[in-house]
Amino acid sequence: MISKKIVLRFPKDIADKPLISDICKKYDLTFNIMKANIFPRKEGVLTLEISGEDKAFYKGIDYLKQNGVELTFVEESIKRNEEKCYHCGFCVAVCPTQALTINDRKTMRVDLYKDRCIACGYCVKVCPVKAMNLENEI
C-alpha cells in the first residue's frame, strides 16, 4: 500500500474532465482533497493525497500524465534554502500540519518534515528571507 501527497495542475482544456474519479474507479485508489482551486474553462490546481496498492497507484499516476495533468509530489515541491534560513520560527507558527517544527528549544532549529507537508504555502508567505519555496503553488 502506498500513499502520497501530490499537486496536480490541470490545463484549462481538461479541467472539467473527471480524471480523479476515473483513477479511483479504474485502479481502486482513494483520495483526500487538501486544497483545490479549479474553475470551469480555466487552469486548475489540486493538492490531494492518493492511496492504493503500489502497482495500481503508479498506473493511476501514469493515467493522469497521459491525459495532460502535470504533477509534482509534495515531498519534492517544498524546498528550504538552508543558506538563507535563520530559523526564526515564523513558518512554525503558521504550519497547519506541523511539517515545520522546533524540536530542540536550545538550538531553536526549525525541522522540516516533508511527509507532513500539504503544500498550503503559508510558510512561503511568512518567511522574511524567502528561504521557503513551493513549486506548483496554488
pLDDT above 70 coverage of the chain, percent: 98
Cβ contact 70:128 at 8 Å: no
Mean pLDDT value across residues 3-12: 90
The answer as to CATH 3.40.50.80 being correct for domain 2-75 is: no
Among the four given CATH numbers 3.30.70.20, 3.40.50.150, 3.30.465.10, 3.40.1160.10, the one describing domain 78-134? 3.30.70.20
Whole-angstrom CA distances from 129 to 25, 58, 94, 133 are 44, 37, 16, 11
Render pLDDT for 80-130 as a digit per residue (tens, 0 to 9). 999 999 999 999 999 999 999 999 889 999 999 998 998 888 999 999 999
Within the chain, all domains assigned CATH 3.30.70.260 are found at 2-75
pLDDT, position 32: 94
pTM (predicted TM-score): 0.75
* Distance, CA of 118 to CA of 97 (rounded, Å): 8
Answer whether residue 19 shows pLDDT above 50: yes
pLDDT, position 105: 87
Within the chain, all domains assigned CATH 3.30.70.20 are found at 78-134
pLDDT, position 59: 97
pLDDT, position 136: 58
pLDDT, position 138: 45
